[in-house]
Structure 1
């Protein structure tokens, strides 16, 4: 039996911060108190007055395995995730081959069972012609159905309205969507290609993948969810206009339509294209200061429920291509929690709210079994964060397989010092231990 006692922590849980100790036996938290007496056989972790938070749950990542492992793989990217205080991830189906049959989906789970440092789930991908496979998905051990309503890496676009209505009408599972209107994007792209050829300036990206493209698609998805009664979660919202589509007067547990924002849309704006170029080319695009401010406002008033990353690594060489051939996406899991704590330092968000949006709410929204909170009987997925420990992101300390980050040369004031996954210390003071203890998520559905 393995017993760990975390002493002298500022425990952050369910809107409160209190000083205390946490006792862990094997995988689970067994006691939380202001003082727990140490015994000889306990392994002691002294939190030294730093914050103890539930490990972050990232509901949208692309770890690139199978088929795209020159960009990243489940081992490399989950390793970076635990170094960043993320203990659980949900991965998307646009790997190669696309995870659009139950057999292909299970193959990904088999890889993760051998190699993942963090807890995991993989989403089932929908296409224009795999409804039968989608409906076989087990809600107890698969996070959600993923539908691309706009083309992105892997081109899994679902664009036939009768197919969408069948999926929305027939699955009781949570449906997660990427919302951008393809026709609008194609029209915009044709206009800028005519003007510039293939070398379109990067600051046109948010005009091509525009506010209108996002709003048309998001509003259609919401209308379809309301018509069919489907449970809908919209990924990576990026515009002020879309914020009018969401409610904040309903408790999360009762919401049928929920919303996510990603760290990059809260951090960067179109002004950053001049310096960062294709390194901050994402779909949906990073947009204006006004959009960023509206996202922050919606996050704080609970129209937006979850903060995620859409972690999507590409090689640095791929990113150096001209606009039309440079892929969209970037790596973020190692730096998302500290980026949000930096926003806290800037007075934008409380620590309690960060924990709510990055741990509690994903756990509630996906109905994850015994994760996302610091509670007795819950899995010990935890991170300790020192908010007075400045460090700078450099090539040398980046753990992503692709070797670069959009946050390079940024100095963060907060640092993850320890991460535990299922009661095992997997990261401590800049070192990831070679212990792959991630487990497949189960869901209370």
Structure 2
């Protein structure tokens, strides 16, 4: 493995900025110092660039196996690395659903052959696979995913007895998608009676409403408090939900944590007019007040991490009428540039971006030796030029689906270099290796 010497980078790490050299050797950060004078296989002049820990995305859907016409682990991990995301945790609603240990291991084998980024995969829960869930290896699997709202296949967990057993017995972190299905169906039926099948996408946040989100999130929090479960609630989409969470307990001691996604920090319901189904997600993008309230909760520590919920579909699928168009969109290539854009607008600091997209994800999931720029840690690093604008267009979109809700947006910041487990994987707009990702491990 080639050694890498990074010279004169502005390091953003653990709430500090400082200029330093970084020596990477055998996949690890060997030395951090004001000056390092050694000969390395590769030297990167990072003067004027900012070095952040590689982002860790705790929620992606890379669609393999079974839905590879939309995406696959190879294509989407490359897009992630080009966007400064060096590790991902992937969801179980593939085809078949990841509801057995054997199917879970199949995904790890695919990633070992094809992933440019570091990887882990969630074990899926259903109403009838508790025994399988309890077999999950806490040291080599990121967590258990519970869909407390409609999802692909057999993954809606709506049996109260099953939920009680899951929350009581889970040996590790449970990550939940929280939307109350009965509320959603009631809202949907209401609008169908009014409008028939011609429901406009602008009503998506009325159908998948604040009430649906809060009912489900508050139930998950209550279950977790009852059973002392390690709960992580994904993609908070309403200001109201943010008040379910604590910002007084140190993160390492929290039993209940929460995630915000980039699209809920960027878009609002006003964008449905121009973006339409391209910003149709579950949970829905809601009001400007919700968007601003989520950001406030990120900044004050009620929400702990920022992720993407990267969930690509083909543009043909997205062009269908609202009721037929699937929810979700691609984000991993553009998440860090979008957050850096919010930095340029004075809404978040670079230190907070590093904290919410790397440090805190590592703490929440107890990831071993990643998420920080520290000697002895894996070299997962991203060098960004904060003053190199570029516009998102068809020619530079790397997702297999070949579209982005950010198309036409100009970002001020460019990801110049991405190092994954000590390998220079992305450099000046080009991939330099095919596979360098490693399986994440967890200190549990």
Q: TM-score, normalised by structure 1?
A: 0.99
**Distance in 2 between residues matched to 1:136 and 1:399, nearest whole Å:** 36
Distance apart, 1:155 and its partner CA: 5.2
SS in 2 for 1:218: helix
2: CA distance between counterparts of 1:318 and 1:397? 21
Q: Is the 8 A contact 2:92 2:124 kept in 1?
A: yes
Deviation per CA, 1:23-50: give whole Å up to 9, x if none.
Answer: 01120000000111132x4410111221
Q: Does residue 354 of the first structure (1) align with residue 353 of the second (2)?
A: yes
1:119-141 C-alpha deviation (Å, 9 max, x unpaired): 00000000000000000000000
Match in the other structure for 1:280 = 279
Q: Distance in 1 between matches of 2:152 and 2:188?
A: 17
Alignment check: 8 A CA contact 2:97 2:154 kept: no
Aligned residue number for residue 429 of structure 1: 428
CA distance in 2, matches of 1:196, 1:319: 21
Q: Deviations over 1:212-245 (max 9, x none)?
A: 0000000000000000111000000000111111
1:31 paired residue number: 31
Measure the CA separation in 2 of the matches of 1:399 and 1:2: 26
The question of 1:166 aligning with 2:165 is answered: yes
**How much does 1:152 deviate?**
2.8
Distance in 2 of aligned mates of 1:391 and 1:259 = 32
Moved over 2 A (4+): 152-155
SS of 1:395's partner is coil
CA distance in 2 between partners of 1:243 and 1:364 (Å) = 20
Deviation, 1:154, is: 4.1
Deviations 1:250-278 (A, max 9, x none): 10001000000000000000000000000
Matching residue of 1:218: 217
Residues 175-214 of structure 1: matches in 2 within 5 Å?
175-214=174-213
Offset, 1:435: 2.4
Q: In the alignment, is residue 152 of structure 1 matched against residue 151 of structure 2?
A: yes
Distance in 2 separating the partners of 1:434 and 1:374: 22
Residue in structure 2 matched with residue 413 of structure 1 by the alignment: 412
Shift of 1:395: 0.5
**Which blocks of at least 5 consecutive residues in structure 1 are unaligned?**
none
The alignment covers a number of residue pairs equal to 444
- The CA distance in 2 between the partners of 1:161 and 1:207, in whole Å, is 26
Task: Give TM-score scaled by structure 2 length.
Answer: 0.99
Match of 2:19 in 1: 19
2:170, 2:368 → 1: CA distance?
21
- Asked whether the equivalents of residues 363 and 371 of structure 1 are also in contact (C-alpha less than 8 Å), the reply is yes
- Give the whole-Å Cα distance in 1 for the aligned partners of 2:254 and 2:171: 15
Contact 2:424 2:433 in 1 (8 A): no
Q: Look up the match of 2:10.
A: 10
Name the counterpart of 1:92. Answer: 91
Could you tell me which residue of structure 1 aligns to residue 240 of structure 2? Answer: 241
Whole-Å separation in 2 of the counterparts to 1:275 and 1:381 = 37
Match of 2:292 in 1: 293
Equivalent in the alignment of 2:323: 324
* Equivalent-residue separation in structure 1 for 2:194 and 2:112 (angstroms): 49
Deviations 1:47-86 (A, max 9, x none): 1221001100000000000000000000000000000000
Structure 2 unmatched ranges of 5 or more: none
For 1:396, what is the secondary structure of its paired residue?
A: coil
Q: Give distance in 1, aligned partners of 2:437 and 2:196.
A: 46
Distance (whole Å) between structure 2 residues aligned to residue 275 and residue 365 of structure 1: 36
